Structure 1
Amino acid sequence: MARILPIIILLWFFTDLYFFQAVLTLSPPPIYLWAYWMLDGIVMAFLAGIAFLKIGSEAQQRLIPWLMGCMLLLFIPRLFSLPILLVEDITRLFRGFPSRNVYVSEFVLFFASILFLIILFGITRGRHFYRVRRETIYFPDLPEAFDGFTITQITDVHSGSFTNAAGVQKGLDLVNAQKSDIILFTGDLVNNRASEMDRWIPAFSKLAAPLGKFSILGNHDYGDYVQWESPEIKRENLARLKLIHSEIGFRLLLDESVTITKDGQSIVLLGVENWGARGGFQQYGDLKKATLGVPDDAFKILMSHDPSHWEGVTLHHQQAIQLTLSGHTHGMQFGIDFLGFKWSPIQYFYKQWAGLYENAGKYLYVNRGFGFLGLKGRIGMWPEVAVITLKRKQRN
């Protein structure tokens, strides 16, 4: 972080100086101008201090989320206001650079204030502003008994980030309220340590579905992002986490399959360990092992935490896998997701990052996540409970 700190500071102050022109146009009292720069100074001082803390230390992990929230509150409204000021400057260039228009500056400050309030909501209430997202997917090879079969998917709980029991319970109640046939959890139950889940076991154990609850591991579940006293303690942590899955009533699938039967017909549920195409993420998952002994003509649903596994492995697998369910991206917990339009910076890193995708009749659904990590909130990318309905499509 120390390497990119100068870049962050330069970008921060360039944005501030440009936005500050609109503030000056309105001739505010001097105390407001002092406050404007004092807030910047405080945030930059904290950023410099955190950058030189030990990486992964408890102090750094505790302070970074709060710093991220403050930076977003101050930076994003200014950044998104810059295009308006830039357009005005282009027109001023052809008019001999007169003074800034007061009305334009007032509009910029109004626009920035709206963005400020949205971000403030996101980092204070957005973390538990759960949304139910529904998708109906049609398959010609879906067994008749599963026509109308419902799946509730949650992912990326990150229980180590939770502090508000009532907020978490609101999300869990929403899961049960869907009354789906099956509940699937697609990884990252904790941030790093199995003990993070201890206080939440009673609440999560009350999730219920008539045909069962199934889960897989995500990249954070392996404990790869913290320093352990010894390899043995790290292995014990993972073993404990696996037990917790059973304690909350979930069947953990580790590169294996299970058959779901209904009215004499069946589908196959597959679960693989984490596999990520991007550098730094583990490739533990083994889809060949998971499909061992599974009939080629079986209708298959795959749980795979990282959506890059879909294009990296799943689409090219020797057996057709009709539906894959993933998470991992969180929608970056920041973006625009409104009336069918969605944008987030995460899309420049992951081709499939939120919602439903299709390729040659095979589908991937990427859940935006139930919990949060890093930033203690969600801005525009609200926490999600996904309900997927399978329908049988008549063959032509």
Structure 2
Amino acid sequence: MDGQSTRIAVDEAQDDDRIDAALAVLRPRFAARAAGYDRSGEIAFDNLAELREAGLLALALPRAHGGRAIGLRRISTIVADVARGDPSTALILAMQYLQSGSVGRSAAWDDAVKAELFASIRDEGALVNALRVEPELGTPARGGLPATRVSLHDGVWRLNGCKIFSTGSEALGWGVVWAATDEASPRVGQVLVRLDRPGVRIERSWNQLGMRATGSHTIHFENVEIPARWLVNLNRPDAAPGEELSAAFESTIAIAALYDAIAREARDWLVGFLKARTPSNLGAPLATLPRFRSLLGEIDALLLANEAQLEFAYQRDDSGRGLGADALLVKHNVTEAAIDAVGRAVAAIGNPALNLDNPLERHYRNVLCGRIHTPQGDAVLAAAGARALG
């Protein structure tokens, strides 16, 4: 290793220590606020401000643009740490990292446009997310063309349409919008949009059972003027997915790590509850009962399997071999095991588990949302079966 490489390694190790120290401070703060934001359904803007002040929003940017170019392992561990405090904030952060990294690696984006976006993230603390899902079509992972259209009239491109489930909505500075041109042979792909432009409107439609503070509202685009340079990656509908497929595999693992973290937080709450709860007819903590000891063994077995599968994915990514379609199975397995783990805790302790004053019911509502992220379980298993059977 040459002198420069050694210096970079030392600097990054010191930076990792700084990041971990910041997360150790922020996580309990986020946890203390989580119930309030869950009740209100508002985005935790103070959490995001503290992540910004700690220098954590730009970590996935390329080094040349002031970031650390953190990879999947580090993205996932940071997101999981934040999720132990507030998973809604963690999901917004995950989207920030995944989009920043994907754009940074993309050969389709013009370097000047990358620099424009990255400067906004670095200097303003702007947030970015992909905006893809539509009311009529649903998730694009199941096929079809977007109804959101970008049209050229009198030399000006304008964007019209809407996107639902837009995580971060009111907190976002930028959207990477999945859209199609209205040309005779439409092109489909990404349109970069600054979300403070005239014609962008947010409809506060997100009122879900779980992950309530993600602000995943509907964003409407009404004749939004788009500079031509922001039409960044438009191709024929039958073009090979290429970069998008790789980014999708990465996203599934980071999302799985987030929901695994929710289950781990639920598990730790359960341990504390069982140690503290001493029924008068027992005269000892519930933790002394064999059935609860077996229950914790079952939960820990599920979480150990999750840890092993996530590590498998991280090692594949670290080695440069790529995640491949196995990433989809890892996401499915990890999220289902996380749901199972929290569900067992809820079933075992009865009414206290569903008391709104206890965090376990919130963890249960949140962890259930792991199933809604693309790809959904039926598609994952059908694809795996098709690969096996040809």
Q: Shared fold by TM > 0.5?
A: no
- Structure with greater helix share of residues: 2
- Structure with greater strand share of residues: 1
TM-score of the pair, normalised by structure 1 = 0.24
Name the structure, 1 or 2, with higher relative contact order (CA <8 Å, separation 6+). 1
TM-score of the pair, normalised by structure 2 = 0.24
Structure whose alpha-carbon radius of gyration is higher:
1
